[in-house]
Structure 1
């Protein structure tokens, strides 16, 4: 009886394809292409560059070539050493190495370790964006947008639009990049935290988005799950405040000045992961790197790693 129940559950549960290798192994003709020529798909009547690019995004290919005169669009499971290899092979007009997200790299047909990757967005005119992708935590495919662990980089800035720090140490990815990478697709967020007693907890959010500059990088965040408690749910809809741009909801306090950092402050709120790096002495600190629900108080944390990941619906 138990075996029958398990069989029915497996039958009804939709199959989730984790990698393109698993996907193409289900189709013998595509499998032959995948492991011989490296071609995932061919489309013979694609007259627009953007359409071929869209197919590549859909199938998580690593590169694509397109000839808008003949309509030939090819998606590849490999990366060429240079563009001329693909052009001489296919006689194409354009060639691009492509992945639009860290998850796209993670779901590619080759193992992808945690490290730095180029993300290309939207169109052939866009320059690739360099990001740190975490491929290990909770299935991988996360773009890291904040990393703190030793206090070597100051997070007290008047502008957080651009990247500061470096990917081998502490850094902030930049609000412009965060907005760009999630503007046309749903994203989720995950925040890894550790205190000075080496206790680790996390907070996950199923809906995460940052608005553009004209919206003052307004935060959309909801759908909490995790062990650290929800210290950012009250920040949904908040604009990003800095000491010289007070956009918080507190009538009598400039929260960014008080917290000595830029953040999506509400009425100052329950979290400030960009706050000053401070050693925990067992007492509350008003202006430190804090997540109130971790301890139920404003005690400083030792490590913070904030990430977001695209949500693919196909």
Structure 2
């Protein structure tokens, strides 16, 4: 009898119809899907509003986004970008900015590497155009006696054309990693006289090699201070070619008795110690005295005990050919 009862229960369970959703259940499910879809569209609209605001309010950015093209059609499946994504296309350097007919000197956002966030730089469009300025000293308002991480990420003000800053060793490395670059150094003394030095094949290693410095042939009228001039003894102890970057909290120089960055008040590619240091202490009036030659120094022009009024370091691809003359503005301080 028990066996027959169990068999009957099994037959009933197999023959029972599958559960069905009521119209109310179906309506609730559709409503939930529509709510999720609406939330996606609201998030996307908010993201587009932010990017449109960035384009309209920031004069440094003149790229027209393809998002707002009249020919663009909305796809059926909208995939929201990640929070680190950016739908605005940035130029890789100031040469690319110039080649898009943006020939006015000023601050622009560039992005040398697609896998990293864009950052702000000053693009100098005079002097042939397309120069990315990586360092500037002009008024002594910015403290250049900084830690390793600050030199790595960059510091200073990025507003006026004569604001002082260091672009950041990581940013400089990313700019130089794209190919061969020329470095131009512009200098001015306290009498308003200007000089310059150009180095071909300017290179920087990554942080694992402590941003080691390499450069090629020199030309200009300021003298080859990065190579410590023409004296062999000076070159052995003060040339900056092949030197690693040093700050007061991370010592990579060849000075065994101390730290060149601590003595000379700024991060730089010190040997033991230097023939040039554009990140030194900013002395007004030029000539200075002290326990160390720690000024803004370019020794092959004014010697070690003269601190310059202005310096700027800027880079550009050597094969860049300007198609226009630029705005003719000079970024040097007055």
2:166 alignment counterpart: 172
Instruction: Kindly indicate whether the alpha-carbon contact (under 8 Å) linking 1:165 and 1:171 is maintained by their aligned counterparts in 2.
Output: yes
2:139 alignment counterpart: 150
Aligned counterpart in structure 2 of residue 295 of structure 1, from 271, 287, 302: 302
Instruction: Kindly indicate whether the alpha-carbon contact (under 8 Å) linking 2:65 and 2:89 is maintained by their aligned counterparts in 1.
Output: no
Instruction: Kindly indicate whether the alpha-carbon contact (under 8 Å) linking 1:80 and 1:86 is maintained by their aligned counterparts in 2.
Output: no
1:129 alignment counterpart: 119
**CA-CA distance at 1:98 after TM superposition:** 4.0
2:13 alignment counterpart: none
The SS at the match of 1:225 is strand
1:216 alignment counterpart: 210
Instruction: Kindly indicate whether the alpha-carbon contact (under 8 Å) linking 1:187 and 1:311 is maintained by their aligned counterparts in 2.
Output: yes
Matches within 5 A, 1:228-239: 228-233=222-227, 234-239=239-244
| Alpha-carbon displacement from aligned partner over 1:234-283 (angstroms, at most 9, x marks no partner) | 21110001112111112223211110111100111201110010023545
**CA-CA distance at 1:312 after TM superposition:** 4.1
Instruction: Kindly indicate whether the alpha-carbon contact (under 8 Å) linking 2:65 and 2:88 is maintained by their aligned counterparts in 1.
Output: no
Q: Could you say if the C-alpha distance between residues 313 and 105 of structure 1 is closer, same or farther in structure 2, counting changes exceeding 3 Å?
A: closer
Instruction: Kindly indicate whether the alpha-carbon contact (under 8 Å) linking 2:275 and 2:304 is maintained by their aligned counterparts in 1.
Output: no
Counterpart Cα distance in 2 of 1:122 and 1:247: 28
Aligned counterpart in structure 1 of residue 92 of structure 2, from 81, 90, 100: 100
| Alpha-carbon displacement from aligned partner over 1:121-171 (angstroms, at most 9, x marks no partner) | 333x4322221111112x121111111111011100012101211122111
2:263 alignment counterpart: 258
Counterpart Cα distance in 2 of 1:220 and 1:300: 25
Deviation >3 Å, runs of 4+: 93-96, 280-285, 311-314
Q: Where does the alignment leave 5 or more consecutive residues of structure 1 unmatched?
A: 1-77
Report whether the alignment pairs 1:83 with 2:67: yes
The SS at the match of 1:293 is helix
- The CA RMSD over aligned residues, in Å, is 2.5
Query: Between Structure 1 and Structure 2, whose CA radius of gyration is higher?
Result: 2
* TM value normalised by structure 2: 0.64
The SS at the match of 1:106 is helix
Counterpart Cα distance in 1 of 2:139 and 2:202: 27
Counterpart Cα distance in 1 of 2:209 and 2:273: 19
Instruction: Kindly indicate whether the alpha-carbon contact (under 8 Å) linking 2:132 and 2:314 is maintained by their aligned counterparts in 1.
Output: yes
The SS at the match of 1:105 is helix
The SS at the match of 1:146 is strand
Aligned counterpart in structure 2 of residue 189 of structure 1, from 180, 183, 189: 183
Counterpart Cα distance in 2 of 1:242 and 1:216: 11
Count of matched residue pairs: 233
Counterpart Cα distance in 2 of 1:81 and 1:207: 34
Instruction: Kindly indicate whether the alpha-carbon contact (under 8 Å) linking 1:86 and 1:95 is maintained by their aligned counterparts in 2.
Output: no
Counterpart Cα distance in 2 of 1:87 and 1:237: 53
Counterpart Cα distance in 2 of 1:172 and 1:198: 23
State the structure with bigger RCO (CA 8 A, min sep 6), 1 or 2.
2
